[in-house]
Amino acid sequence: MVAAPPVDAARYRLANVGVAVCLLEDASGLTSDHDGIALADIDIADGRIAAVRSAGATEPEGAVVDLRRGLVWPCFVDMHTHLDKGHIWERAPNPDGSFDQALATVGRDRAANWSAEDLRPRIEFGLRCSYAHGTAAIRTHLDTDESQAGITWPLFREIKQEWAGRIELQAATICVMDDFVGPPGERLADLVADCGGMLGGVTYMMPGLEEGLDRVFRLAADRGLDLDFHVDESLDPAARSLRLIAEAALRNGFQGRVVAGHCCSLAMQPEDDVARTLDLLAEAGIAIVSLPMCNLYLQDRRPGRTPRSRGVTLLHELKERGIPVAVASDNCRDPFYGFGDHDMLEVFTQAVRIAHLDRPYGDWPRAVTATPAGVMGLDGTGRVAAGAPADLVCFSGRRYSELLSRREPDRVVLRAGRAVDTALPSYEELDHLVYGAET
């Protein structure tokens, strides 16, 4: 059991904590082990981290909480989610688990149900799970066709303000590229800009893609918006829209941030092609976010056949090339992914196992913390640094082999140095939405 810090103490020390040096802004004076973990004391004063020093190096000034070598992480950053789709599984299950049926099932559910009264409790449910698990910042994609945009985006703006200080919330459109054409496209971009969001859509090899990309880059540039795309979410080696996005960013001299999510087909392409695409991504400064749990669920799924290819993009090769690489949770209990609890420890655990992010772990913990924080423009989030808010997650696991083997339900989440309520919302709260008249 992790010991909770004294609730009322303005100054206290988290003593004997294990901290991954890759998550520290300044690791000088600390000695790390073969997994890059150092034993440290973290002094907290007035809600901020006052100092991080080698364990026992100095005398404590206030109360002491001995974490007995338990690992301490900065709060997580979950930079690719779909909070508007979340938790609809029981009323809208995916009949065969395929991508096509996910798309069709969500489309029907959206048309039938997605009022603000339906969206708000489901979005808040996801946010409350995330907060309780230790996440401090989230980017969600929002389904944005013409009939839905006017409902979802103003609601997002309200919820973003309501959650300020607890979860930093960002949002991007997810729609087809044709939704950006002409006056309707201009109006959509204006609405998103007005609601503090960014633009994005689904890209794959389609006629007119280059022209469509130029259009969305221009809409974003004109309004100072960032871009976040769903890219090549298939195992088709001919799906090369990732490269076209990099070329469009360079061709348009785009000054904002660009993120490409999924990029599954990159893993199916010849080495020479991959190398050229990585060069362009690095040159354009594009960040990649991988969603390995959702990829495992949807990719290479055919009835009665064991999946061979798992659809996870080239995490190691991208990072080796200097391209920012993040891992995130994606969908949660909806037709695109039938499971999930908005827990970034689970996401990191699964990513380590799926993509071999161990041996060595290196700086992979940054993929769910500091790297997405940087991509989202949230300096100071997702790292352990003197002067930063004491937004920390304290685990009982002392080594990765312990942390990544148990679910850590007794973790302590500190926000501005205070332990927060980590009780998860009950599924019963959504019964009236997902079971309707049955309940």
Q: 90, 168, 211, 233: which is the annotated catalytic residue?
A: 233
Least distance (Å) between residue 438 CB and Zn ion: 30
Burial of 390 (0-12, 13-18, 19+ CB in 10 A): buried
Are 414 and 42 contacting, i.e. CB atoms less than 8 angstroms apart?
no
Q: Contact region for Zn ion (CB under 5 A) — 1-9, 96-104, 282-290, 326-334?
A: 326-334
Contact set for Zn ion, span 101-130 (CB under 5 A): none
Pairing of strands 48-54, 37-45: antiparallel
Could you give the CA distance from residue 382 to residue 249 in angstroms, rounded to a whole number? Answer: 27
Q: Which stretches within 224-259 are classed as H helix?
A: 241-251
Q: Contact region for Zn ion (CB under 5 A) — 20-28, 263-271, 325-333, 362-370?
A: 325-333
Least distance (Å) between residue 68 CB and Zn ion: 39
Report phi then psi at 54, rounded to 5: -55, 140
Q: Contact region for Zn ion (CB under 5 A) — 103-111, 117-125, 212-220, 322-330?
A: 322-330
CB nearer to Zn ion: pick between 180 and 229: 229
Residues facing 231 on adjacent strands: 203, 262
Contact set for Zn ion, span 49-108 (CB under 5 A): none
Q: Contact region for Zn ion (CB under 5 A) — 146-154, 309-317, 328-336, 411-419?
A: 328-336
Are 407 and 344 contacting, i.e. CB atoms less than 8 angstroms apart?
no
Least distance (Å) between residue 349 CB and Zn ion: 20
* Binding map of Zn ion across residues 330-359, x = CB under 5 A, - = no contact: x-----------------------------
CB nearer to Zn ion: pick between 36 and 261: 261
Tokens matching residue 300: 């290479």
Q: Contact region for Zn ion (CB under 5 A) — 112-120, 296-304, 329-337, 354-362?
A: 329-337
Angle between helix 182-194 and helix 146-162 axes, rounded to 10 deg: 10
Tokens matching residue 132: 């309780």
Tokens matching residue 105: 């099932």
Contact set for Zn ion, span 369-388 (CB under 5 A): none
Residues facing 170 on adjacent strands: 139
CB nearer to Zn ion: pick between 52 and 318: 318
Could you give the CA distance from residue 348 to residue 100 in angstroms, rounded to a whole number? Answer: 27
Q: Is the dihedral of CA 346, 349, 353, 355 positive or negative?
A: positive
CB nearer to Zn ion: pick between 84 and 330: 330
State yes or no: is 233 an active-site residue: yes
Give the count of residues interacting with Zn ion (CB under 5 A).
Answer: 1
CB nearer to Zn ion: pick between 330 and 408: 330
Q: In what order do the strands lie in the sheet with 227-231?
A: 202-203, 227-231, 258-262, 287-290, 325-327
Least distance (Å) between residue 324 CB and Zn ion: 18
Residue 85 vs residues 193, 328, 333: alpha-carbon distances, Å:
22, 16, 8
* Binding map of Zn ion across residues 280-319, x = CB under 5 A, - = no contact: ----------------------------------------
DSSP-assigned letter for residue 399: S
Least distance (Å) between residue 262 CB and Zn ion: 7
Q: How far is CA 148 from the centre of its chain?
A: 23
**Hunting for tokens 């061979």 — which residue is that?**
308
Least distance (Å) between residue 384 CB and Zn ion: 29
Which residue's Cβ has the minimum distance to Zn ion? 330
Least distance (Å) between residue 294 CB and Zn ion: 7
CB nearer to Zn ion: pick between 143 and 330: 330
CB nearer to Zn ion: pick between 2 and 367: 367
Q: In what order do the strands lie in the sheet with 168-174?
A: 76-81, 135-143, 168-174
Q: Which residues bind Zn ion (CB under 5 A)?
A: 330
Please list the active-site residues.
233
